[in-house]
């Protein structure tokens, strides 16, 4: 008589395990910045006339934020950083970002301060740990 071998079920679901590992890894990854969706043509967020000091401040802020994680940024309550989601209905824009397929790409829009109040805000969104900068808002035009 031949023995019937029972298959041994795998321990744990490999897909779920991989997803958890990926999520844990991303939670510890530092922020990156992308200018892929940067829009300098919007009437409220044109940056062509801004001086070199302003862009130095923007780059310095990006450099400093590149040493923390997305979670650290979003949980930071510093009055100089003022990082929080954008609520379009409370802004002067209401329709959101304006680039092709933005409704599909942008999950939650965010803003954070360049400096305490002097250099305005940076508006954009995250995909994983990359922050895509859309608008440079030196003059605080988004929130009236």
Unique residue bearing structure tokens 């029972």: 6
Q: What local confidence, expressed as pLDDT, does residue 24 receive? A: 62
In contact, 82 and 111? CB cutoff 8 Å: yes
Q: How far apart are CA 117 and CA 100, in angstroms?
A: 31
Q: What local confidence, expressed as pLDDT, does residue 71 receive? A: 94
Kindly tell me the sign of the dihedral angle through the C-alpha atoms of 60, 114, 58, 61: positive
Q: Domains of the chain: which residue ranges? A: 31-137
Distance set, CA 78 to CA 21, 111, 113, 121, 125 (Å): 30, 13, 10, 14, 19
Q: How far apart are CA 59 and CA 129, in angstroms?
A: 18
- Reading the chain (144 residues) residue by residue, the pLDDT tens digits are 556 665 555 556 666 666 666 666 666 899 999 999 999 999 999 999 999 999 999 999 999 999 999 999 999 988 889 999 999 999 999 789 989 899 899 999 999 999 877 889 999 999 999 999 999 999 999 987
* Backbone Cα Rg of the chain: 21
Rounded to two decimals, the pTM is 0.81
Q: What local confidence, expressed as pLDDT, does residue 48 receive? A: 94
Q: What local confidence, expressed as pLDDT, does residue 115 receive? A: 87
Strand order from edge to edge, sheet including 84-85: 32-34, 130-137, 121-127, 109-113, 84-85
Closest CA to 42 of 101, 93, 109, 112: 93
């Amino acid at each position: 008589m031949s023995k019937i071998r029972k298959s041994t079920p795998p321990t744990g679901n490999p897909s779920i395990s991989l997803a958890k590992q990926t999520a844990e890894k991303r939670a510890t990854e530092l922020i990156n910045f992308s200018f892929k969706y940067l829009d300098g043509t919007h009437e409220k967020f044109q940056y062509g006339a801004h001086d070199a000091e302003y862009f130095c401040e923007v780059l310095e802020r990006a450099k400093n934020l590149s040493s923390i994680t997305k979670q650290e940024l979003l949980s930071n309550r510093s009055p100089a950083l003022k990082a929080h989601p954008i609520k379009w209905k409370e802004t002067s824009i209401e329709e959101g970002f304006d680039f092709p397929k933005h409704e599909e790409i942008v999950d939650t829009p965010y803003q954070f301060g360049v400096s305490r109040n002097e250099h305005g805000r940076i508006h954009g969104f995250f995909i994983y740990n990359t922050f895509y900068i859309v608008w440079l808002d030196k003059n605080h035009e988004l929130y009236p």
